[in-house]
């Protein structure tokens, strides 16, 4: 696998020098200072690319080239926004960047309710608590029609939790859901978010799937002509939140997408952590079903319970059988090498590390993206890959 590291640009507290020392060779990056829907110019792309390359690294993957909400809802100026997207794709290809990760999650990007769950060893992990999400939906956001999405028991539990929550807990939950975690495309106030929810009235799963396919029908021919590999990230978490549909969560979702838009440039960011949250997802089966179009790997593990909660586990623990996943990856890479494919080495990055050691005392970190936890994850994944390669 090509070992990469997500870097958030010049303001990231983890420097490019740190990343080189961690052992990664490539960077996963986006131009976060450019507003959603605006064109990424060649000037801006080349500026960032030079900054990465002068540090001895390569810009291997864009994560993410964001899809504007008007494209997802196919409203307003969505046609112009799609044209802008195509121009950004062309500019990236002209600058030598050919792998683009994106997602199609409505309004919210990846979602967690707590950023500092204390683990047994004293390190901190990201957590999604389903009860806190319901508390937010019913008693902070007060979403119209929310009660019909929950059982009487779930509503009662959320009410009790809300009444016993401190103002700090209420603020924490709201901020973590609305303000956007690292890499999220937008942050919202409560009022702004309520207004955004209204733009999805009448858009259920079937409509959102159709909108995704129509978007891909527009951009994948461009990707094919440019040699770009588009790779959609699964929903995180992989189920509906706050009444919003999510349509990239399981094998059947991928099958729908690829049946309707078949070219191999229409591919997957295979995120073991996101997909692993669903107990009905067979991760090796999903990988093997679409192995030839896995263009990017997010390797992490989550630990779930029976109440819909999960937290970020160590990379080789939790509910993901990382040994089996990397075995599948190695077999696919060998198959591609035998076919002389130029993408035989799939870029991977260690996703979401624990905050630990010295990073516990730093004033500024990106939750899930501190240095030492990801360094540990990268080392573990590299060792696992090395061992499997020696055995098969």
The C-alpha angle with vertex 227 and arms to 70 and 221, in degrees rounded to 5, equals 45
Q: How far is CA 179 from CA 15, 141, 165, 172, in A?
A: 24, 14, 20, 10
* pLDDT tens string 16-43: 999 999 999 999 999 999 999 999 999 9
* pLDDT tens string 40-80: 999 999 999 999 999 999 999 999 999 999 999 999 999 99
The catalytically annotated residue of 68, 295, 298, 315 is 298
The catalytically annotated residue of 60, 352, 354, 359 is 352
The catalytically annotated residue of 102, 200, 311, 369 is 369
The catalytically annotated residue of 235, 343, 351, 359 is 351
Strand 124-128 to 114-118 pairing? antiparallel
Q: Establish whether 352 is a catalytic residue.
A: yes
Instruction: Write b or e for each residue in 17-43: b if 16 or more Cβ atoms lie within 10 A of its Cβ, otherwise e.
Output: ebbeebebebbbbbbbebeebeebebe
pLDDT at position 186: 72
pLDDT at position 185: 63
The catalytically annotated residue of 236, 271, 295, 359 is 271
Q: Establish whether 271 is a catalytic residue.
A: yes
* pLDDT tens string 244-299: 999 999 999 999 999 999 999 999 999 999 999 999 999 999 999 999 999 999 99
* pLDDT tens string 116-136: 999 999 999 999 999 999 999
Q: Establish whether 295 is a catalytic residue.
A: no
Torsion angles phi and psi, residue 286, rounded to 5: -65, -45
Instruction: Say if residue 64 is preceded by a cis peptide, omega within 30 of 0.
Output: yes
pLDDT, mean of residues 8-13: 95
Q: Establish whether 233 is a catalytic residue.
A: yes
Instruction: Say if residue 237 is preceded by a cis peptide, omega within 30 of 0.
Output: yes
- pTM attached to this predicted model: 0.96
The catalytically annotated residue of 233, 295, 315, 354 is 233
When mean pLDDT is compared across 75-79, 187-191, 220-224, the lowest value belongs to 187-191
Q: Establish whether 68 is a catalytic residue.
A: no
Q: Establish whether 328 is a catalytic residue.
A: no
Q: What percent of the chain has pLDDT over 70?
A: 99
pLDDT at position 132: 97
Q: To which H or E segment does residue 156 belong?
A: helix 152-163
3-state helix, strand, coil in the chain (%, to 5): 45, 15, 40
Q: What percent of the chain has pLDDT over 90?
A: 96
pLDDT, mean of residues 162-166: 97
241 - beta bridge partners?
244
pLDDT, mean of residues 362-376: 95
Quick check: 331 and 280 in contact, CB under 8 A?
Answer: no
């Amino acid at each position: 696998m090509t070992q990469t590291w997500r870097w958030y640009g010049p303001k990231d507290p983890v420097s490019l020098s740190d990343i080189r020392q961690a052992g990664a060779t490539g960077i996963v990056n986006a131009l976060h200072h450019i507003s959603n829907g605006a064109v990424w110019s060649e000037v801006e792309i080349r500026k960032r690319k030079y900054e990465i390359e002068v540090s001895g690294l390569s810009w291997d993957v864009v994560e993410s080239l964001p899809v504007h909400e008007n494209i997802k809802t196919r409203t307003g100026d969505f046609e112009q926004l799609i044209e802008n997207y195509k121009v950004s794709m062309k500019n990236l290809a002209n600058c030598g960047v050919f792998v683009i990760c994106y997602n199609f999650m409505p309004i919210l990007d990846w979602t967690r309710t707590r950023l500092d769950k204390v683990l047994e060893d004293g390190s901190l992990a990201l957590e999604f608590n389903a009860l806190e999400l319901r508390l937010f939906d019913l008693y902070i956001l007060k979403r119209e029609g929310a009660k019909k999405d929950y059982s009487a028991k779930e509503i009662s539990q959320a009410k009790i939790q809300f009444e016993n929550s401190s103002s700090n807990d209420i603020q924490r939950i709201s901020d973590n859901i609305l303000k956007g975690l690292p890499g999220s495309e937008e942050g919202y106030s409560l009022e702004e978010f309520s207004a955004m929810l209204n733009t999805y009235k009448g858009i259920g799963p079937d409509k959102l799937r159709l909108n995704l396919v129509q978007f891909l029908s527009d951009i994948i021919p461009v990707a094919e002509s440019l040699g770009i590999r588009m790779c959609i990230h699964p929903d995180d978490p992989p189920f509906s939140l706050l009444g919003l549909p999510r349509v990239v969560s399981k094998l059947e979702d991928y099958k729908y997408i690829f049946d309707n838009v078949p070219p191999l440039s229409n591919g997957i960011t295979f995120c073991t952590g996101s997909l692993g949250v669903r107990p009905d997802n067979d991760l090796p089966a999903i990988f093997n079903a679409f192995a030839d179009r896995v263009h990017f790997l997010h390797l992490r593990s989550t630990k779930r319970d029976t109440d819909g909660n999960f937290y970020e586990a160590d990379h080789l623990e939790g509910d993901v059988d990382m040994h089996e996943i990397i075995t599948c990856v190695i077999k696919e890479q060998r198959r591609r090498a035998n076919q002389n494919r130029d993408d035989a080495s799939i870029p991977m990055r260690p996703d979401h590390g624990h905050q630990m050691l010295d990073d516990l005392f730093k004033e500024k970190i990106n939750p899930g993206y501190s240095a030492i936890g990801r360094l540990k994850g990268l080392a573990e994944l590299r060792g696992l890959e090395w061992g499997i390669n020696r055995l098969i």
